Amino acid sequence: MRAFVFPGQGSQKVGMGVELAGASLAAREVFQEVDEALGQNLFAIMSEGPEDQLLLTENAQPAIMAHAIAVLRVLEKEGGIAIGDACDFVAGHSLGEYTALCAAGAFTLADTGRLLKLRGQSMQAAVPVGVGAMAALLGADIAKATALAEAAAQGEVCTVANDNDPTQVVLSGHKAAIERAIAMVKDFGIKRGVLLPVSAPFHCPLMAPAADAMAEALGRTPPRSLSVTLMANVTAAPVTDPAEISRLLVEQVTGRVRWRESALALGTAGVDQFVELGGKVVGPMISRTLADVSITSVASMADIEAFAREL
């Protein structure tokens, strides 16, 4: 069995999508449709920068989605592949869950772009710059990370945001609490804590205003039926019901991204082939979680052609 998986924030880089757009009309159409939906020339920022504009959450989220969907559309239109035939599950890391839902037909491309633009803006606005922070814990499992977060909180928010794989967990919360956590890592048998260059503390209770904004937006733009089952971030369980998906997307804003558990659940369901579309970020996390599975990254035209030949 096969799963298509999609990367989250941090996989953006200036120049993304340029090769695809130059080689494929299908890719160019994706970038143009997203630009028109957002009323901005996002593809120019993706292509040429400046980097600080691409790094803005409100630009990075729709850009990463657009790049991954462009890869998928080239596969579908030029490789003659239908997603419902090519995979059994879809999953995405944080914003990548919206990409997965777009791929499975729950949202149109234009609506996905608009939802992610709003999601990025709402997340940025939820907490004043400098109040929150995130840190990656290297050499930490979920038990050690949870204990550290509880000890460092001291009345502030400090919680697990991303359980990525058996060796990497991300904390999110008030900046002072995150800094305390980094200073305490050795006491909990954790190799290292690294402050992440993010503009807001994602996936923690401080994001409640953004969750409210997304609940309102999803009420106006509800998901439709899926052609492929989604493995959801916050439950690490399969879901196909559109109403349940809408609820989980709201919960996802403040909730934990249970990526390690999602990989384990997919493995238990029988998935032994994972294909990351549009990046090479979440695939390596899966390879550190599951043994004896194949991991393929499909991001360039050469990758697309090679993958299409395998199917």
Tell me how far the alpha carbon of residue 149 is from its chain's centroid.
Answer: 23
Q: If residue 174 lies in a helix (H) or strand (E), which one and from where to where?
A: strand 168-174
| pLDDT at site 58 | 94
Rounding to the nearest 10 degrees, give the CA dihedral for residues 105, 109, 114, 115.
20
- Amino acid at position 150, single letter: E
| pLDDT at site 11 | 84
**Token pair listed for 213:** 């904004």
> Within 10 A of 239 (CB to CB), how many other CB atoms are there?
15
| pLDDT at site 10 | 83
Instruction: Please give the Cα distance from 135 to 171 (Å, whole number).
Output: 5
CATH topology of domain 132-198: Alpha-Beta Plaits (3.30.70)
How many CA within 13 A on the CB side of residue 147? 11
Show me where the domains of the chain are located. Answer: 2-126+206-310, 132-198
| Neighbour-count burial of 273, counting CB atoms closer than 10 A to its CB (0-12 exposed, 13-18 middle, 19+ buried) | middle
Question: Smallest Cα–Cα separation from 145: which of 174, 99, 184, 109?
Answer: 184
| Neighbour-count burial of 67, counting CB atoms closer than 10 A to its CB (0-12 exposed, 13-18 middle, 19+ buried) | buried
The answer to whether the CB of 256 falls within 8 A of the CB of 163 is yes
CATH topology of domain 2-126+206-310: Malonyl-Coenzyme A Acyl Carrier Protein; domain 2 (3.40.366)
| pLDDT at site 310 | 86
Instruction: Please give the Cα distance from 107 to 103 (Å, whole number).
Output: 8
Rounded to 5 degrees, what are φ and ψ at 39?
Answer: 65, 30
Q: How many helices and strands (H and E) does the chain possess?
A: 15, 10
One digit per residue, the tens of pLDDT, for the chain of length 311 reads: 999 999 998 889 999 999 999 999 999 999 999 999 999 999 999 999 999 999 899 999 999 999 999 999 999 998 888 999 999 999 999 999 999 999 999 999 999 999 999 999 999 999 998 899 999 999 999 999 999 999 999 999 999 999 999 999 999 999 999 999 999 999 999 999 999 988 899 999 999 999 999 999 999 999 999 999 999 999 999 999 999 999 999 999 999 999 999 999 999 999 999 999 999 999 999 999 999 999 999 999 999 999 998 88
| pLDDT at site 2 | 98
| pLDDT at site 300 | 95
| pLDDT at site 79 | 84
| pLDDT at site 173 | 98
The length of the chain, given as a count of residues:
311
Instruction: Enumerate the active-site residues.
Output: 94, 203
How many CA within 13 A on the CB side of residue 236? 16
- Amino acid at position 126, single letter: A
